[in-house]
Each structure stands twice: as structure tokens, then as C-alpha cells.
Amino acid sequence: MVEIIQENKTIFMYKDSSVIRETESVCPICLARIKADIKEKDSGVYLEKSCIKHGTFRLLLSRHPEYYRELNDFYFSLMSESHPQHDYILHLTNTCNLNCPICLADANQRGTQDYSLKDLKEFLKNKKNYKIDLMGAEPTTREDLPEIIETVNRSGNIAALHTNGIKLADFDYLKLLVDSGLHEVHLQFDGFDDWAYEQIRGRKLLATKIDALENLERLDVATDLVATIVRGVNEREMVKILDFGVRKTYIKEIFFLGCRFLGAAKTLPIENCIMPDELIDMLQEQTKGKISRANIYQFQKLYFALLSAFSKRKCFYIHHYMIIRNQSGFIPLDQIIDLKVIEDNLEKFKDMKIRGNKLALPYLMVCLIFKLVGLRGLFLLREFLSFSFPFIRGFNLSKLPRKSVLLGFITACDSYSLDYQIAQNCGKGAISVEFGVEDCGAIDNVRRDNFKVKELK
């Protein structure tokens, strides 16, 4: 939710305003770099910024100030410096076989050239265990996609396909991609309601999505379901997507992406856009508290600690949780591990890390292994070590354990939400014809959304 305060008019009066963090952002209209404050107001947390030409803008970040404050303090205590980028979105083409009413990528609108295989080979030189997110608009419109995947795989890097899944409904085509070395698929999957697909994607797609999923299961391709949630359209699909995903062991992640003010979605009221924090509230309500904010908070601290321990970049606004499959569906991680006990160790790790103590990482790993062995024995230890592997060698979904499902509540940065302090450790870089190599995907998002703008630093 964004509220715009016109110049020279006092529309809002706040009590007990307090600044959580000072940062910088951009004006959503002219993209000038401007100062911004993260403020607690009226039982919420807002990003507030003012442009001398276009007035003041306010974006709701969270309705849970204590949750936001404590995670903010923990994150920035550990992520005070920018880590090297090893995960890049590769914008292969602007063409797509859909014209989604909410397309965040402005598909079929730019007329830009496709990214060349020659340039990709040059970028991959001397790189190992990088994750290359093959995106488009729709990457399967590239006839040379199998060769692109093979190039990434042969170079010792991870080929991750992001797709609407239309072409994956063809089993032979998917098998060709898998045989070329495809490691994982991130499938655009907005639920089980064809009316919602008509609103979000412009046509009924459920049958096609199901065919693609059956092929992915048949070939046992590590899969991430990515659901774009649009207010008033498909919020109630979240728990249905969750229940489906936990029954399929080839599905390793389920990510809920709040629609943001990008591309074609800018024709929607800004109120239809959703930040990740609100998605947590939605899923907590739909699961009747089985997945809870309190436990997500504790797991997120563990996630941030592991990222910091292995010097991995990640956006503060992408929050995670883990659930464990069982015969009746799933159980939350907190029913297996006492996350509150582990939280005490995380705070000590943070203090050691801040002081530059070289024993911080060994301390964290020993504490976690000791507690996991003490709680559930070798099975849980094996699951933890499998989960930790991607932090060391690159986040390859195919290496994640089958019993676990990683949940994500995520966003795509836009000109309203861009926060330069967070962006310094954006979890995705970007490669494109228009802007070359950019280590910060958040900045790339804003530049691409205003693609005539060449400089945004």
C-alpha cells in the first residue's frame, strides 16, 4: 500500500513516529536518488521518502513493527558489507508466448535483441558454481535454449529455468532440456483457478500447467512453484498451492511473490501490490497458524546467519521457512527443532561475527550439529547438511533434501520499494543486452522498468 502526500499539503498526522533506519531510494516518478527513512508509525513500518519535485511517498512494509525491527537489527549486524555476487538473472529475450495483463517484464514491448550465446560464454569464463537464472520474458521462445543450458552446465555452473511452463507441457521438449543439463525449473504457478489465470495471465492455463507439472514429475526435475499473488484475485490459492506442493517430492521450493509496481502491473491500483510481510499474514491465516510468523522469525535468523557465515548475498525482504513432509502432509520445522534454543546461539554467533572472531563459523556449525543430533539423530543431521550444501557450492535445488520444502515470501524491487542499503546485498545480479552486467538485481529492475534511463546508481 502506498499513500502519496501532495506538496504543501498536510494530509497525515502521526504520533510517536520513530526512525528504524535511514537509507536512500528513488523518486517513483523521476527516479532521482533521494533520502528515505524506515519509520514505525501507526502500528506499522513504512518506507517514507520525499522528492523536491514530486512530493512525499509512503510504502507499507510491515504491520508488525517488533518483527521488522528485530530482524532488521539482526540482518544489518551481519550484512553490513556487500558480499560477492554468484547468482545472476540472464535476460535472454523480451519475447513471450503470453501477454500477461500483469507482466512485470514488459514482455513483447521493447524490441531489444536477444542476449547472444557468444556473450554468455564470455561471461562464464573462469566462473564455477554460479547460478544462472534463465529468464525472458519467456526463455523457451529461444530456439537455442538447449545449447544455452548445455553451455551453462558444461562450464560448471547451475542452469535454472524460469518459465510459464507452456512449452514444458510437451514431454519431448522438456526431456531435451533435461538431457542438455537443466538443473532446476522455477514454474510460474498461480493456483488452481482458471478465472484467476484469465485475470493474471490473460487466458485459461490450468490444464497446461498440470501437464507441465506431470512432465516435471515424470523426469524428476527439481522444481520451484512461483505464485504471483495479486490482491483481490488469487490470495486464497496460497494454501492450495502449499498443500499440492508438499505431496510432490520433486517440488523443493514454493515461493509466494507479491505483485509489484512493475511493467504492465503499473496499470493496476497500487493497492493491489503486496509486500512479502503481508504474504506471511495471509498464509498464517489460511493454515490456521500451523505456519506462524513467530517461527518464521526464528528460522529467518538462522537463514541470515548461514548467509553471513558463507558470505552469500540475500535481500532482507525475502523471508523463508522450512516444512517437513510426512504421511498426513507436512509438519512445521519448529515441531522438530526448538528454534528458540537455537536462537540463543545465533545471537552469540552475531556478536562473534561483529567482533571479527574467526571462530564464529565453527561455533555456529558445531552448535547446530550438536543440537540436531541431540534432537532427532542422524536423519535430521543429514537433512541439515543437505540444506547447508547450497550455501557452500551454489543454491542448486536438485541438491536439496526430498523431505524438506523451502517456503519463500518474496518480492521484486520497484521504484517504490527500492532501498539502497538492502540492495547492496541483493540476492540476484542481472545480465542483459540493455545494461550489461549488473550485480544488483534491484537496481536492474528499476532501470529495466524505465528502460530509457541509462544511469541509476
pLDDT at 13: 40
CA–CA dist 360, 355 (Å, integer): 9
Give the mean pLDDT of 7-19: 49
pLDDT of residue 255: 98
> Taking the chain, what is the end-to-end CA distance rounded to the nearest angstrom?
26
Architecture of domain 87-410: Alpha-Beta Barrel (3.20)
Least confident of 371-375, 414-418, 439-443: 371-375
pLDDT score, position 176: 98
Q: pLDDT confidence of 388, banded at 50, 70, 90?
A: low
**CA 234-238-240 angle, 5° bins:** 105
Q: How confident is the model at residue 452 (pLDDT cuts 50, 70, 90)?
A: low
Domain boundaries defined on the chain: 2-81+414-449, 87-410
Q: What percent of the chain has pLDDT over 90?
A: 70
Average pLDDT score over the chain: 89
CA-CA distance, 120 to 92, in Å (whole number)? 10
Range of lowest pLDDT (64-68, 131-135, 156-160, 301-305): 301-305
pLDDT in tens, 326-376: 999 999 988 888 788 888 899 999 999 888 898 998 898 888 777 766 555
385: left (phi over 0), alpha (psi -120 to 50) or beta: alpha
4 confidence band (pLDDT: 50, 70, 90)? very low
Q: Which helix (H) or strand (E) holds 342?
A: helix 339-354
Q: Give the SS3 label for residue 188.
A: strand
Q: Where are the alpha helices (DSSP H) in 100-230?
A: 117-124, 145-154, 171-179, 194-201, 206-218
Which of the four pLDDT bands, split at 50, 70 and 90, describes residue 10? Answer: very low
For 340-351, write each residue's pLDDT tens digit: 888 889 999 999
Of residues 194 and 455, more confidence is placed in: 194
The predicted-structure confidence for 249-285, as pLDDT tens digits, reads as follows 999 999 999 999 998 898 888 778 899 999 999 999 9
How high is the pLDDT of residue 385?
Answer: 62
Mean local confidence (pLDDT), 201-221: 98
Query: pLDDT of 161-177, one tens digit each?
Result: 999 999 999 999 999 99
pLDDT at 381: 60
